[in-house]
Structures are given as C-alpha cells and as structure tokens.
C-alpha cells in the first residue's frame, strides 16, 4: 500500500542532514522550495509517496532515511506545496503512475480538511492531452487559472475545490473546454467564446417571469418580485464546437442555489460572472406595456457588474423571451464606460421605453446593435431569443476582457 509522507520545508534548510542522493533523484529541493518562498504562507513542505513499510521505517530512522537508497528506490512520487489559509499551491516534482498522483493530491485533505482550494501547477513538460487532463479531472480538478493567487506565479494552474459530488463526464468537458479556449486564443487579439443557454434554464426563467414571487394584493392586483441570480458553465459540448481548432461553445445553466427575490420592480445585481434578472409579468400589466426589453438602468447595472464582478454577459428574462447583454469587441478593454459622458449617452440612447409598444423585440435589437459610439461599434451587443424558438444550435458570440494578458474564463 502506498501512503503519503509530509515533511516541513525547514528540514531541507538545516545543515544537519545530507540530502545529496535524494537531490540526484528529485533535484535540489531547497532550490525548488525557494520558488515558493516569496509568499507569507503559513506552511511549506514536501510530500512523498512511499510504500507503508518505508513509512514505518521512517518512524524509526527519521530524516537520515531520506538520503538512503532504500528510500529513494521506493519513491513513487513527490510534490512540493505551500499553504495560505485554505489555499494550497503545489508543484509536482514527479510521479510514477496515476495512483501515486492521487495519493499526493488527496494527502492535502488529510492535512487540511475538506474545504481547501488546491492550485496545481502543470509542469512546462506536461502534455495537455485529453487523456492527461481526464486523469486530473477525475481527481476533482474542475477549473483553471493562469495565475496563482498565493505566489502570483504565472502558469497553468488547475483548481480543485472539494465538492461532494460524484464525477461526471461534463466536468471533464468544462475544464477541457476552458483549457482549449485559453490555448487557442493565446496569440489572438481578442478573447471570445460561444455560449448556449440550456433549454431547461430558459423554461425556468419563463416560469419565473410568469409567476415567480407572485402575491395578490388587497385590491386584487397581482404583484410580483423581480428575481436575480447567476448562471454557471454546465457543459462544453464535444460536438462540432469543441473540435480541434475551433473556439468552444459552453452550455450555461441557471444556478438554483443563488436565486434572489428582490423588491417589486427593482432587481439587485447578482455578484457573479454570468448573471440574470427578470421583468415579471405583473410589471407588463402595471406599466401597460407589450414588451419589456432592457431599460437604460439595466445597461448601467450591467456595466457596474462588468467592472465589479467581471461579468461576461447578463441575461434579462422577459415574457417574450430572453435578452442577452454583452460588451462589443471595440469596447471590451475599455476601463471607463461608466464615465459621465458615456452614462449620459447610454441614458439618451438606450431608454427605449416608449417604443415598447411600437417595435418588436427583433426590431429593438437591430436598432441598439446598429448604434455607433465615438466612431466605433455600439458599446453593447444584445441578443434576443424567444422561448418558442427551439433551435438547438442557437449560440452567441461573447467577447470578454483579457485577465493578466490571458483569455481565461
């Protein structure tokens, strides 16, 4: 049986021991641990993967065992790490097989409990193939970033948050899609991806609009609350969109755990990267309106969300269908879309309330998408999709900002 053996990094800085033989096998550890030295972390160390009989031997012989052939010949893998609060950053030095990798990765649960967030840096020599990423996906890595929040090192960091959910194939699809996107857009001038909204989520939104939070007032009038919440990436389809060379399409679903009922006709912005709010049926009656596309305050709220929460797109669910608001390519890297001039411009051009009984939704999005601001394209790209339309291939191109120079979603 293989077991983990974790040793504090200070052991390798002491002059007391000779680790010459061990370093021949895994490289100079004190050098490697220095990479992790910049952070004011809580603890640093190395975890070895060894057979249990060697572990028993270690209890007797202690650190002098590490430099013996008996130890080195029985080494199945090792990982260096540092921790800061519940965050752990790791670098794998080597591992013989997937079972050794699993023992090294899972050793942090034993050390720190279940609620840790693990950042696992892929080696420069790591081959990003479906097969290799599948192994890590099955170990619970379901997200990635191009920078570590602990040491601020750059690289490809796979992220594992412990969830007690069984692994599903779509977990792999999502991480594979995110990595593919990042790699494919490395030399591109702009970050973009394609999105689809799940059919099920559209139906939930429709129900929310029609009857969500409804109550009957004393005067017999029905009032409803605006509802807001978040979407999450549920899948990245392996079909034509995820093939090599193509920019992936991600499927988004509504996060049922983050739904919030707001004041009657005043939705708060949900603090997430993909969010929504509703224009309830009762507001159509109270305002005597046929359609209820985004108001100019909805556009302003989206910009606030864009700057505060890094929001990629916002969905407005109405009786007639969903409107998807995003920022156009020409403006995606702009830092000041909330300056006075632009806000005034938005208030003057996007307040098409009176037209809600004149235009159709398709005419509306044609108008707003044809705007031009300061000689560039319109600030917002708006899509509309009715509930009736059951087109499976309906997808939308969304531009997003570069984070630390990389296209990471």
3-class DSSP string for 55-86: HHHHHHHHHHHHHCHHHHHCCCEEEEEEEECC
- Residue 210: how many CB atoms within 10 A of its CB? 14
Closer of 28 and 295 to Zn ion (Cβ): 295
Closest approach of Zn ion to the CB of residue 367, in Å: 18
**C-beta closer to Zn ion: residue 31 or 355:** 355
Given the complex with Zn ion, which of 95 and 306 has the nearer CB atom?
306
Q: Taking CB under 5 A as the rule, which mask of x and - marks residues 109-148 in contact with Zn ion?
A: ----------------------------------------
Closest approach of Zn ion to the CB of residue 304, in Å:
13
How far apart are CB 266 and Zn ion at their closest, in Å? 8
CA distance 210 to 15: 72
Total residues in contact with Zn ion, by rule CB under 5 A: 1
In the bound complex, what is the minimum distance in angstroms from residue 230's beta carbon to Zn ion?
Answer: 16
- Cβ proximity to Zn ion: between 91 and 298 the closer is 298
Q: For Zn ion, which is the closer residue by CB, 241 or 298?
A: 298
**Phi/psi at 253 (5° precision):** -125, 160
For residues 193 and 198, what is the distance between their CA atoms, to the nearest angstrom? Answer: 16
In the bound state with Zn ion, the residue whose beta carbon lies nearer, of 298 and 320, is 298
Residue whose CB is nearest to Zn ion in the complex, by number: 298
Name which of 22 and 379 has its Cβ closer to Zn ion: 379
Residue 243 contacts residue 173 (beta carbons within 8 Å): no
- Contacts (CB under 5 A) with Zn ion, residues 231-270: none
Shortest distance (Å) from residue 268 CB to Zn ion: 11
CB of 323 to Zn ion, least distance (A): 10
Whose Cβ is closer to Zn ion: residue 39's or residue 318's?
318
Tell me 165's DSSP state.
Answer: S
Report how far residue 347's alpha carbon sits from residue 335's, in angstroms, rounded to the nearest whole number.
Answer: 19
Q: Within 13 Å of residue 243, how many CA atoms lie on the same side as its CB?
A: 3
CA distance 196 to 250: 6
* Nearer to Zn ion among residue 89 and residue 298 (C-beta): 298
Nearer to Zn ion, 105 or 382 (CB): 382
Q: How far is the CB of 400 from Zn ion (least distance, A)?
A: 22
The 278-317 contact track toward Zn ion, x by CB under 5 A, reads: --------------------x-------------------
Rounded CA-CA distance 279/307 in Å is 23
- CA–CA distance, 262 with 270 (Å, rounded to integer): 11
Rounded Cα gap, residues 140 and 398, in angstroms: 28
Contact call for residues 80 and 53 (beta carbons, < 8 A): no
**Edge to edge, what strands does the sheet with 117-121 contain?**
2-8, 43-51, 77-84, 87-95, 117-121, 154-161, 143-147
Picking from 205, 359, 229, the residue whose alpha carbon sits closest to that of residue 305 is 229
| Tokens found for residue 358 | 């004149």
Q: In the numeric block, which tokens belong to residue 47?
A: 């975890």
SS3 content of the chain, % helix, strand, coil (to 5): 35, 30, 35
State which of positions 154-173 bind Zn ion (CB under 5 A).
none
Q: How far is the CB of 254 from Zn ion (least distance, A)?
A: 17
Least spacing, CB of residue 147 vs Zn ion, in Å: 34
Site for Zn ion in 43-102 (CB under 5 A): none
C-alpha 182/C-alpha 406 separation (Å) is: 7
CB nearer to Zn ion: pick between 171 and 298: 298
51 CB-side CA count, 13 A: 8
Minimum separation from the CB atom of position 303 to Zn ion (A): 14
In whole angstroms, what separates CA 141 from the centre of its chain? 12
Shortest Cβ distance from residue 297 to Zn ion (Å)? 7
Q: Which residues bind Zn ion (CB under 5 A)?
A: 298
């Amino acid at each position: 049986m293989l077991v983990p053996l974790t040793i504090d990094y200070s052991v390798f800085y002491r002059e007391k021991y000779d680790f010459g033989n061990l370093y021949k096998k895994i490289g100079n550890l004190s050098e490697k641990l220095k990479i992790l030295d910049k952070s004011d972390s809580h603890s640093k160390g190395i975890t070895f993967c060894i057979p249990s009989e060697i572990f028993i031997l270690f209890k007797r012989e202690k650190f002098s065992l590490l430099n013996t052939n008996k130890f080195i010949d029985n080494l199945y893998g090792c990982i260096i790490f540092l921790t800061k609060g519940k965050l752990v950053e790791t670098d794998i030095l080597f591992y013989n097989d997937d079972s050794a990798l699993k023992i090294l990765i899972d050793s942090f649960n034993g050390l720190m409990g279940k609620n840790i967030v693990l950042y696992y840096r892929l080696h420069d020599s790591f081959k990003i193939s479906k097969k290799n990423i599948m192994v890590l996906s099955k170990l619970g890595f379901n997200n990635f970033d191009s920078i570590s929040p602990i040491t601020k090192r750059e690289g490809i960091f796979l992220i594992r948050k412990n969830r007690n959910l069984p692994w599903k194939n779509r977990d792999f699809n999502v991480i594979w899609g995110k990595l593919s996107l990042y790699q494919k857009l490395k030399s591109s001038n702009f970050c973009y991806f394609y999105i689809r909204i799940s059919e099920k989520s559209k139906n939930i939104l429709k129900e929310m609009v029609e009857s969500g939070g409804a109550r009957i007032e004393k005067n017999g009038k029905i009032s409803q609350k605006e509802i807001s919440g978040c979407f999450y990436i549920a899948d990245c389809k392996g079909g034509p969109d995820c093939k090599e060379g193509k920019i992936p399409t991600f499927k988004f679903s509504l996060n049922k755990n983050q739904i919030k009922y707001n004041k009657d006709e005043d939705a708060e912005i949900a603090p997430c990267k993909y969010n929504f709010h509703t224009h309830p049926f009762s507001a159509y009656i109270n305002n005597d309106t046929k359609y209820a596309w985004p108001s100019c305050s909805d556009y302003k709220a989206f910009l606030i969300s864009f700057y505060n929460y890094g929001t990629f797109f916002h969905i407005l669910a109405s009786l007639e269908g969903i409107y998807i608001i995003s920022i156009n390519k020409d403006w995606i890297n702009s830092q000041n879309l909330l300056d006075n001039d632009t806000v005034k411009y938005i208030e003057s051009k996007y307040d098409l309330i009176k037209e809600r009984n004149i235009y159709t939704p398709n005419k509306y999005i044609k108008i707003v998408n044809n705007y031009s601001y300061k000689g560039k394209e319109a600030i917002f790209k708006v899509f509309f999709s009715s509930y009736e339309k059951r087109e499976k291939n309906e997808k939308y191109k969304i531009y997003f900002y570069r984070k630390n120079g990389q296209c990471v979603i």
